[in-house]
Structure 1
Amino acid sequence: MSNADTAIAALRSGYESLADLVKKFDDEALAGPSAATEWDIAQVLSHLGSGAEIMTNTVQLAVAGEPPAEGDFNQTVWARWDSSSRREQADGFLEWNETLVSLFESLSPEQRETVRIELGYLPAPVDVTTVARMRLNEFTLHSWDVRSASDPAATLAAEAVPELLAQRTIDLSWVSKPAELDGKYAVLKVATTEPATELTLNLKDPVTLEDGSPAEADGTLTLPGETWLRLVSGRLGPDTPAGLELTGPITLATLRRVFQGY
């Protein structure tokens, strides 16, 4: 399968898993806290639902060869979701995420390779693989926000992890807080398992990530790929997870402060 195929398959699996849980939520559960500290469960679902509606429109226009929606389309969608009841947000999550995943699945092999999608906040249109992975990243992290609220041992969906790690040189500048380094600078070799990757984490201002091992490193961070993704997204709990080893001048507590979540 192509990268687009595997990303879309992971989206389907992730959606069905979370949908099975959401269908069981009563009103009390929807009002309960999520791991996204500023949102309750329904608000996380609203975020995923409104995002699915907007992305569905974006992909449909790209497939049709039409320009992106103009004006205040996104703001109108967000306002409607924000004014909806918790039950409406949960039902809308189910409807629009099914619609978006089905749209991705409906793309022919040729379309998956040739369609270019204008997102508005990137310098150029991107391919279906990139858009599917971006959606998978958001969906996987916020799905964890919902599931971990009642299951402290929850992990990111296993089928999503290789796809998310394929975006190795992600921009960490907007999700990190280099001030928490207290003026320290360090280069860490990051070695993930399941799957195996090697990265260079430059802890400075701004924090950057590069593919491959550094020529010289101040320390090494070895951990499962799933754990790495939760660490840099601010979703790693206070305990040291199994399989995580850190050497060098930077502590795990410091890394947690640098990556506080989004």
Structure 2
Amino acid sequence: MITALRSGHEHLASLVRGRGAGDLTRTSGAAAWDVSQVLGHLGSGAEIALAVLEGALDGTDPEDAEFNRSVWARWDAMSRGERAEGFLSADEALVAIFEGLDAQTRDELRISLGFLPEPVDVATVAGLRLSEFTFHTWDIEVALDPAAVLASDATGPLLDQVGMSIGRLGKADALDGRPVRLAVRTTAPERSFGLDLGEAVALGEEPAEPDAVLSAPAEWLPRLTTGRHAPACTPTGVTLTGAALTLDDLRRVFPGF
């Protein structure tokens, strides 16, 4: 995951450097924000995560909510160009501190995030940052290219995380009480799942007799569950066979946030 954070940073930094006001004011894939605001969100998040990691390494108390609010306020007040420049340095510092952790620290360090009931390990913190970073990188890229996809280095780890959040993100009532058992088969990497759209939304084993079969590039499944699935941004490799539901039905199940 740390390797994916580094490659993701280098990729997004190459897109950001030299961008003029016209690109920074484009509406991003997160429709309420322009590109500069997404960069500000990633930059402020990097700054807060860096403080959390440094505090865990130093054994000091974690920063409180007032610290977070002050960081967000400062980034909100920046100009669009300042957000772009600030992102480059803030995210570089965060990735570098992850890379500097030795094997023992990666295994043993426990980090308090405040919004979780107990401290977590480095892998959890890196995974949370990778998820946020990868989806928001797509939000920026899709403003420049409707065919943008999630970073290949991050797709596998994000696919592994889908099951943890799908019950919270999915809206089973979008199908008006119609239970559907869906087989999901992905490529690059190849995986198979069962998606149960009943009273709740859950990921499990592929059913022996599915009501429908969804085939898709693996990077699209995390995008589907987070609402980044508009028809114009759906790859041609996405197919849904069976009369039980349509792709638009699936989009209603996963409206995003």
Structures share fold, TM-score greater than 0.5: yes
Partner of 2:131: 137
Q: How many residues align?
A: 255
C-alpha distance in 1 between matches for 2:14 and 2:240: 37
TM-superposed CA distance for 1:215, in Å, is: 5.9
Measured at CA, do residues 71 and 121 of structure 1 come closer, stay the same or move farther in structure 2, by a change above 3 Å? closer
C-alpha distance in 2 between matches for 1:164 and 1:173: 15
More helix by share: 2
Aligned counterpart for 2:228 among listed residues 217, 231, 235: 235
Which amino acid is 1:217 matched to? P
Partner of 1:189: 183
TM-superposed CA distance for 1:214, in Å, is: 3.8
Provide, for residues 210-248 of structure 1, a one-character-per-residue CA deviation record: whole Å limited to 9, x for no partner: 3x3346533322222112122112112315533323234
Residue 251 of structure 1 pairs with residue 243 of structure 2: no
SS for the counterpart of 1:97 is helix
Contact 1:171 1:208 in 2 (8 A): no
C-alpha distance in 2 between matches for 1:26 and 1:167: 35
Contact 2:195 2:206 in 1 (8 A): no
Flag structure 1 segments of 5+ consecutive residues without an equivalent: 1-6
SS for the counterpart of 1:223 is strand
Measured at CA, do residues 123 and 194 of structure 1 come closer, stay the same or move farther in structure 2, by a change above 3 Å? same
Superposition TM-score, scaled by structure 2 size: 0.92
C-alpha distance in 1 between matches for 2:196 and 2:57: 39
TM-superposed CA distance for 1:192, in Å, is: 1.7
C-alpha distance in 1 between matches for 2:201 and 2:65: 34
TM-superposed CA distance for 1:168, in Å, is: 4.2
Contact 2:162 2:222 in 1 (8 A): no
Partner of 2:111: 117
Contact 1:168 1:199 in 2 (8 A): no
SS for the counterpart of 1:148 is helix
Which amino acid is 1:231 matched to? L
CA root-mean-square deviation: 1.8
Aligned counterpart for 1:17 among listed residues 7, 11, 28: 11
Contact 2:184 2:193 in 1 (8 A): yes
C-alpha distance in 2 between matches for 1:24 and 1:178: 44
Which amino acid is 1:183 matched to? G
SS for the counterpart of 2:144 is coil
C-alpha distance in 1 between matches for 2:22 and 2:220: 30
C-alpha distance in 2 between matches for 1:250 and 1:63: 50
Flag structure 2 segments of 5+ consecutive residues without an equivalent: none
C-alpha distance in 2 between matches for 1:121 and 1:188: 33
Contact 1:219 1:246 in 2 (8 A): yes
Partner of 2:90: 96
Partner of 1:3: none
Which amino acid is 1:127 matched to? D
